[in-house]
A and B are shown apart, each in its own frame.
Chain A
C-alpha cells in the first residue's frame, strides 16, 4: 500500500489517461476487419486497466486538487470507476450476446469511447472541457441508438433522442458561458468559490440554475422530456443497460458539482415539482405497463425523479449513493431481461388471523422506526422523506417476508433476509459516506413549506394507489389508467408491426 500512496496524483492521472487512450486505440483497432474477432477478449482485458487505476485513485485521494484542467476528488474517482465498471461489464456481456451482429465491432468501439468520455466528464475541472465531454457522451449514445438505422423505428428513436440531447447540451453550454462571463473563470472550482458566487446577481443565479436544471432533467427523462427514453426500447439490451446505468443519472452528479451555486430558490422548487411529478408518472407507468423493458423504463423515470428530489433537498451524498446503486440495479435487470419469461406459479396466499396480526405488528414496527429516524434530524427536509419511504418499505417487506411466510423456517428466513438487507444497506451507506466525506458540496435546506408540498405530492400518489385498488370500476380509474398507459407508450411512428428491416437488409440479395 505504501507504494501506492507514494504515487503522486499527477503520475496517477498520467497513468490513467495513458491506459484510457490505450483502450480507445484498442477499440479503434477492433474496427479493422483484418483484426480477428477473438481479439475482443484482449480488448476486454485492456478495458480493465484504466478501471484498476481509477480504483487506486479512489483509495489514494486525500485532498481535492486541480491538476491542469482536471479536478480530482473522491467523487470524481468514484464516478470514473463506476462508469468504467459499467462499461466493462456491458462489453463483457456483449462478447457473446451480440455475437453475429452486423455491427459487432462497432458496438465495442462505441461503448469504449462513450464510457471513456463519460468518465472524463467527471474529471473535468474546466467548464469548457465539461461541456465538450457532455456533448461527446451524448453523441456517443446517439450513435449507439442509431446504429441499427436500417430499422425505421431505431432511426426514429435516434431522431427524438438527438433532438432532446441537443437541447440539453445547448442549455449546459449557455449556462457555462453565462457562469464564466459572470465570474470571470472557466475553472470550475474558482467559479464556484464563494467570492465568485458573491458576484452573481439574483437574476444570474436563477438563470444559470434554470439552465442547469433543464440540462439535467432531459437525460434523466423527467416529465415533460421523457419521450426519448420511452422510444428507446428499440436498442439492443446492452445499450439499454448502459443508458439506464450510465447516462440517465448524469444529472445527479452534475447538480452535486454545482451545489455551491444551486442553493434553494426558484430553480430548486421547479426541480422539486418536476421531479415529484416524474416520480408519480414513472412509477405509474411501471405499474400499468406489461412489457418487461417498458416497466423498467418507467421505473427509471421514477428513480431519477427521486434522485433529483434528493439533490433539490440538499441530500447530495444520498443522491450519489442512490444513482450508483440504481445504475447497478437497473443494469442487472436489463441484462437479465431474457429471464422475464417464467412459468408463473401463484403461491397460495394464506391470510388468516395470525398473519393479520403479523401485518399489524409490522406496520407498528415500521411506524416506530420511521418516527425514530425522523426525530434524529427533524429539521432536515430529506430526513422526513426518507422516514416516509422507510415506513412504507419496511411495512411492505415485512408483510411479504415475515407475515406471509409459512412455518418457523419461513419466519426465521424472512427475518434474516430483512436483517441481512438492513445490515448491508447500512454498511454500504457508511462506506459511501466515508468515501465521499471529502467531496465539496454545499447543501442548503429548502424552505420547509416546499418539503411539505413534496411530501404531500408523494402521499397523494400513495392515496391514489390505495383508492384505485378499491375502486377499480370507477371511470376516474379508467381515465388515470389510460393516461398512464399513454405516457408509457412510444408514438406510432416508432412502432412497426413487424421488424421489416430484416427482410430488406439481411436476407435478400440477388434479384428481386
Chain B
C-alpha cells in the first residue's frame, strides 16, 4: 500500500535492483509489509482481533480507500444496511444534512452551491442509477466527448501479484490457482489436529519441507516440478531469486509482498502468530512468502515477461453524467448548454462525491445519532441517590456488554452494588486446570502471563480422578485410533453406529434432556475433587514462568484490582467477584462467546484467584497499611455469570460470616427472578418462532444445549460504547446491552495513571472487539468467516469455507446477521465515554500517543462527561 510504504521507505537503503541484497534487508521489508495483516490465533482461543491493528497510524478513511482500490474491499456499511438502520430510526437525517454541509463547506468546487446541494441530497438517498439510463446510447455519445479525461492524479498504483493479471486456458486467474496451492501447503504444515499421516519433513520447517516435497507434487506439471528441483535451500534466497526473476524493482518489493500477504490474510496471519510463539519458527512468515512467491514464479513463468500494464483507476464517465441527470435534475439540453469547462467541473464534482463518501457521511451520522442518544441519557440530571446507602453485597462484573442488562436486573431486586472491571481482574496469569497439561493464558492477548496458577487436589483423590478422566478420554482416543487404521476403520461404523444414533436421536428430539443427561453422566463419573490453588511462589529454572505469587505480588494484585474497581472503602459484608462464561454445544465459535479479557475462556478461574487473594489475612493486613481497610466480616466469594442463560454459578464460597451469609441468601433468593427478567430481555432479540416466550430461563437453556442451535446467544453483537465512569452515571438507564462499563472515579486518580491503564488495557480490548464486529459485519466474506453452515474446521486451528479457502479470521455471518439479508450488529466505531474533567482527557491524549492516533484517525470515538454533567465530543 502506498501509505505504509511511505512510512517505512526510509528504513530501506536505496540500492540497485540488480545487486543481491542481504537477508536482513528482506527481513526488514517483510517486517514492514506484515503491518497489513494481523496475527491470527487458533479458533479454540478465539479472542477479538482488530484486523487493522497495524494501520492505525493512518486514518480510517485512507485505509478504506486503499482497501477499496487494491482489493475491492469496502469497509463502509452497505447502502442496504444504512437504509435499514434509517428505517429503524437509528440514523437521524439531520446529522446527514449536517455532515453534508460540513463537506460542502470544506471543499471548493465550481458548481453552483444550490445545484451541488440538490445533487448531493438526491445522491444521499443511496439509490442506484437506473440501468436503462446508464445503457442509453445518448449517454454514451455524451461520454465519448470526455474520452481520455483524467480526473484524478493517479496515486502510486499498488502492485498486485503478477499472477492476478494472467489467466490460464480455462479462464481461471493464475492467482486463484496459486491460492489453492498455498492453502494446501499451509494447512498441511500447520495442522494441529494430528492427522493420521503428517506432512513429511514437517520438523524441518515450512520452507524446507515444501522445498523437499514440491518436486514430487502431482498437482504441478512435470516441467514445473523440474524447475523447482534445484530451488535454493534457504527461504530468503528463494524469495530474492523469485522476486528478481519476476522483475520486481526493489522499491516496489514491500508493496508486492503486501499484495501477497493480503491475498490470504488468514493463513498469513496464522503464520505470523506462529512465528511469534516459538523461536524455531521465528522466520515462518519469510518462509511462507518464499513458498508463495516461488510457486507464483513457476505458475507465471510461461507468460513472462509481461507487458507493462499500469493499473489505472477506471473512471466511468457515463455514470457520472447519468448521476447529474438523475440526481442533479439536469436535462440533456441543459447539459449540452454547459461549456465544456463547466461540464468538467460538474463531472469532477460528481466524481469526488462518490459512493464511498456518501456512505461515510451516513456512517458518521449513524454514529452521531448513537452518541446523541447516549449523551441524552447520561447527562440528564439524576435524582440524587444517597451515595452512602448501605449495600448488602458488592458484585464485580466484567466490562463485557452482556453484564450490563444482568447488572441492571440484579440491582433492581435488592440493595446490591455492581461494579465493572475487565474480567481478568488485572491478574497476569496462565491457568492450569486440575489434571490438565495445557495452560491457558487467561488475560488479554496483548499481554503475556507472568505467573502460572494450578489447580491442585489431595493426591489420592487426584490420582483416582485422573484414572477416571483417562477412562473417559480413552473412548475418544480409541475412536481416533480405529479411524486411522485402514482395516479397523471399516468396522468402526458398526461398532459405534448404534451409540452415535442414540445420541443423534436424543439430541434431535429432546435436545435439552439429552445434553443434560450426557453432561450429568460425565460429571457424576468424573467427580472432580475439591481443589486448591497454587498461589504461593515456586520457581525453578526449567519453568518459563513461576508458579504462584510472592507475598508482595499477592498484595499488589489485590490492591491494583480493588483500586481499578474503585472499591477501597465502604465494603459490603459480601463481595462477589464474577467472571463470565458461555455455554453452547457443537459451536466452533464457542470461544468467541467467552470472556475476551481472559483470552477467549471463561473467567471464573481468575475470579476465584482474586477472591482468594482478598480473603488472605496477610494480604488484608498489608492492604490496611495502604489505607484499604477491609472489615473482618467482609468475605470475598467468586462466581461465574453464565451469559447464555443469565445465571450466576458459584465457584468459590469460603466460610461466610453471619452478615455475608445473609447477603448470600438474599442473592440466591432473587436470582431466579433476575435470570428470568434478563433472559426475557435477551431472548426477545434472538431469532425465534415464538413472539412471546413463556418460560424464558427454560428456553434459554434450550439455546445453550441444542446441538442444532446456530445462534446460542448474540455474544457482543451491537456493542457500541465503552463508558468509563461511576455506576451512578449509567445506573437508571437501559443501555440495551450495548455498552462496556468500567468503574472509574477521577477523584481517586489524581495522577491520571489509572485512567491511562484503563485505556491501554481494557480500552484496547474493547476497541478490538468492536472493530472485529465492525469488520465482520461490513465485509463478511473477507474479515468475517461467512456462513457457519458451509464452514469446515481445518487443521484444528480455524475454519475454511467450502472446499478450501483462506483461514477465515472473523465472526461468522450468524454472529452479526439476523438473517442473510438483515444485519443485527450495527457497525459503529466504538464510542469511549470518560467521566472526568477535560484536563484529564487532555492529559490522557498527551501522554498516550497511540491512543491519540486512534482517536484522530477515526478508529475510536471519544467523548467525556465533565463534573457538571456536560457532554464533550473530542
Residue A509 contacts which of B80, B194, B468 (CB distance < 8 angstroms)? B80
B217–A482 CB distance below 8 A: yes
Is A4 in the interface zone, CB < 8 Å from B?
no
Question: When A and B form their complex, what is the total count of cross-chain residue pairs whose Cβ atoms lie within 8 Å?
Answer: 395
Interface residues of A in 322-363 (CB under 8 A from B): 322, 324-326, 328-333, 335-348
Residue B500 contacts which of A233, A328, A405 (CB distance < 8 angstroms)? A328
Interface residues of A in 269-300 (CB under 8 A from B): 279-280, 283, 286-295, 299
Residue B436 contacts which of A102, A294, A345 (CB distance < 8 angstroms)? A345
Is B309 in the interface zone, CB < 8 Å from A?
no
Chain A positions 211 through 255: 1 when the CB is less than 8 Å from some CB of chain B, otherwise 0: 000000000000000000011011111100000000000000000
- A322-B485 contact, Cβ under 8 Å, with A473-B201, A503-B779, A510-B83: no
B80–A510 CB distance below 8 A: yes
B81–A345 CB distance below 8 A: no
Q: Which residues in B have their C-beta under 8 angstroms from that of A389?
A: 487-488, 490-491
Q: Which residues in B have their C-beta under 8 angstroms from that of A99?
A: 687, 710-711, 819
Is A154 in the interface zone, CB < 8 Å from B?
yes
B588–A290 CB distance below 8 A: no
Q: How far is the CB of B613 from chain A (nearest CB, A)?
A: 26
Is B135 in the interface zone, CB < 8 Å from A?
no
Stretch at the interface among B733-741, B745-753, B803-811: B803-811
- Residue among A101, A324, A338 with max Cβ neighbours from chain B (10 Å): A338
> What is the CA–CA distance of A173 and B721 in the complex, to the nearest angstrom?
65
Residue A496 contacts which of B176, B188, B585 (CB distance < 8 angstroms)? B176
B497–A299 CB distance below 8 A: no
> What is the CA–CA distance of A328 and B482 in the complex, to the nearest angstrom?
18
Q: Which residues in B have their C-beta under 8 angstroms from that of A326?
A: 493-494, 497
Is A498 in the interface zone, CB < 8 Å from B?
yes
Interface residues of A in 360-414 (CB under 8 A from B): 388-390, 392-393, 396-397, 399-401, 404-407, 409-410, 413-414
Q: Which residues in A have their C-beta under 8 angstroms from that of B485?
A: 392-393, 396, 465
> What is the CA–CA distance of A390 and B463 in the complex, to the nearest angstrom?
34
Q: Which residues in B have their C-beta under 8 angstroms from that of A390?
A: 491
Stretch at the interface among A18-26, A72-80, A486-494: A486-494
Q: How far is the CB of A424 from chain B (nearest CB, A)?
A: 5
- A89-B505 contact, Cβ under 8 Å, with A97-B789, A326-B497: yes
Q: How far is the CB of A373 from chain B (nearest CB, A)?
A: 12
| Shortest Cβ distance from B822 into A: residue | A100
Stretch at the interface among B5-13, B125-133, B289-297: B125-133
Interface residues of B in 464-490 (CB under 8 A from A): 464, 466-468, 470-471, 473-475, 477-478, 481-490
| Shortest Cβ distance from B601 into A: residue | A343
| Shortest Cβ distance from B585 into A: residue | A339
Is B792 in the interface zone, CB < 8 Å from A?
yes
| Shortest Cβ distance from B702 into A: residue | A96
Interface residues of B in 771-789 (CB under 8 A from A): 778-782, 784, 786-789
Q: How far is the CB of B22 from chain A (nearest CB, A)?
A: 32
Q: Which residues in A have their C-beta under 8 angstroms from that of B218?
A: 482-483, 486
> What is the CA–CA distance of A189 and B686 in the complex, to the nearest angstrom?
55
Q: How far is the CB of A93 from chain B (nearest CB, A)?
A: 4
- A397-B488 contact, Cβ under 8 Å, with A341-B793, A510-B126: yes
Q: How far is the CB of B584 from chain A (nearest CB, A)?
A: 9
Q: Which residues in A have their C-beta under 8 angstroms from that of B180?
A: 489, 492, 495
Stretch at the interface among B145-153, B372-380, B665-673, B794-802: B794-802
Is A41 in the interface zone, CB < 8 Å from B?
yes
A234–B802 CB distance below 8 A: yes
Interface size on B, residues (CB 8 A): 131
B802–A495 CB distance below 8 A: yes
Q: Which residues in B have their C-beta under 8 angstroms from that of A280?
A: 486
A283–B217 CB distance below 8 A: no
B187–A497 CB distance below 8 A: no
Is A151 in the interface zone, CB < 8 Å from B?
yes
A288–B195 CB distance below 8 A: yes
Is B199 in the interface zone, CB < 8 Å from A?
yes
Residue A396 contacts which of B263, B464, B481 (CB distance < 8 angstroms)? B481
Residue B474 contacts which of A330, A332, A405 (CB distance < 8 angstroms)? A405
Is A306 in the interface zone, CB < 8 Å from B?
yes
Is A178 in the interface zone, CB < 8 Å from B?
no
B80–A98 CB distance below 8 A: no
| Shortest Cβ distance from A333 into B: residue | B500
| Shortest Cβ distance from A291 into B: residue | B794
Q: How far is the CB of B291 from chain A (nearest CB, A)?
A: 15
Is A507 in the interface zone, CB < 8 Å from B?
yes
| Shortest Cβ distance from B800 into A: residue | A291
Is B364 in the interface zone, CB < 8 Å from A?
no
- Residue among A94, A325, A458 with max Cβ neighbours from chain B (10 Å): A325
B806–A497 CB distance below 8 A: yes
- A410-B789 contact, Cβ under 8 Å, with A397-B478, A417-B475: no
Residue B195 contacts which of A289, A333, A342, A388 (CB distance < 8 angstroms)? A289
Is B508 in the interface zone, CB < 8 Å from A?
yes
| Shortest Cβ distance from B81 into A: residue | A507
Is A461 in the interface zone, CB < 8 Å from B?
yes
Q: Which residues in A have their C-beta under 8 angstroms from that of B764?
A: none
Is B690 in the interface zone, CB < 8 Å from A?
yes
- Residue among B201, B482, B501, B802 with max Cβ neighbours from chain A (10 Å): B802
Q: Which residues in B have their C-beta under 8 angstroms from that of A508?
A: 78-80
Residue B820 contacts which of A89, A102, A302, A468 (CB distance < 8 angstroms)? A102
Is B310 in the interface zone, CB < 8 Å from A?
no
Q: Which residues in A have their C-beta under 8 angstroms from that of B617?
A: none
B200–A477 CB distance below 8 A: yes
Q: Which residues in A have their C-beta under 8 angstroms from that of B690?
A: 38
A290–B188 CB distance below 8 A: yes
> What is the CA–CA distance of A81 and B774 in the complex, to the nearest angstrom?
47
- A288-B197 contact, Cβ under 8 Å, with A234-B790, A399-B481, A498-B781: yes
A493–B787 CB distance below 8 A: no
- A153-B803 contact, Cβ under 8 Å, with A92-B508, A286-B483, A332-B504: yes
Q: How far is the CB of B217 from chain A (nearest CB, A)?
A: 5
- Residue among B172, B193, B505 with max Cβ neighbours from chain A (10 Å): B193
B802–A499 CB distance below 8 A: yes
B176–A100 CB distance below 8 A: no
Q: Which residues in B have their C-beta under 8 angstroms from that of A478?
A: 200-201, 212-213, 216
B794–A292 CB distance below 8 A: yes
- A331-B486 contact, Cβ under 8 Å, with A290-B191, A506-B821: no
A93–B802 CB distance below 8 A: no
Q: How far is the CB of A470 from chain B (nearest CB, A)?
A: 12
Chain B positions 503 through 514: 1 when the CB is less than 8 Å from some CB of chain A, otherwise 0: 111001100000
A233–B172 CB distance below 8 A: no
Q: How far is the CB of B148 from chain A (nearest CB, A)?
A: 24
Is B248 in the interface zone, CB < 8 Å from A?
no
B508–A493 CB distance below 8 A: no
| Shortest Cβ distance from A151 into B: residue | B802
Is B333 in the interface zone, CB < 8 Å from A?
no
Is B627 in the interface zone, CB < 8 Å from A?
no
Nearest 3 pairs of A and B residues by beta carbon: A510-B79, A509-B80, A325-B497
If A393-B495, A500-B781 are given as contacts, then 20 extra A-B residue pairs at C-beta distance below 8 Å, sorted by A number, are: A102-B819, A234-B802, A288-B188, A289-B195, A290-B794, A290-B796, A291-B794, A291-B800, A292-B792, A299-B483, A389-B490, A393-B487, A397-B478, A401-B474, A405-B471, A413-B474, A492-B176, A497-B176, A509-B79, A510-B83
Q: What are 19 sample pairs from A and B whose C-beta atoms fall under 8 A apart?
A: A93-B508, A97-B709, A100-B710, A102-B819, A237-B789, A280-B486, A287-B197, A290-B191, A294-B792, A302-B489, A410-B471, A473-B201, A482-B216, A486-B219, A495-B179, A503-B779, A503-B780, A506-B821, A511-B127
Residues of A that sit less than 8 Å from B by CB: 36-38, 40-41, 89, 92-102, 148, 151, 153-154, 157, 230-231, 233-238, 279-280, 283, 286-295, 299, 302-303, 306, 321-322, 324-326, 328-333, 335-348, 388-390, 392-393, 396-397, 399-401, 404-407, 409-410, 413-414, 417, 421, 424-425, 428, 458, 461-462, 465, 468, 472-473, 475, 477-479, 481-486, 489-490, 492-503, 505-512
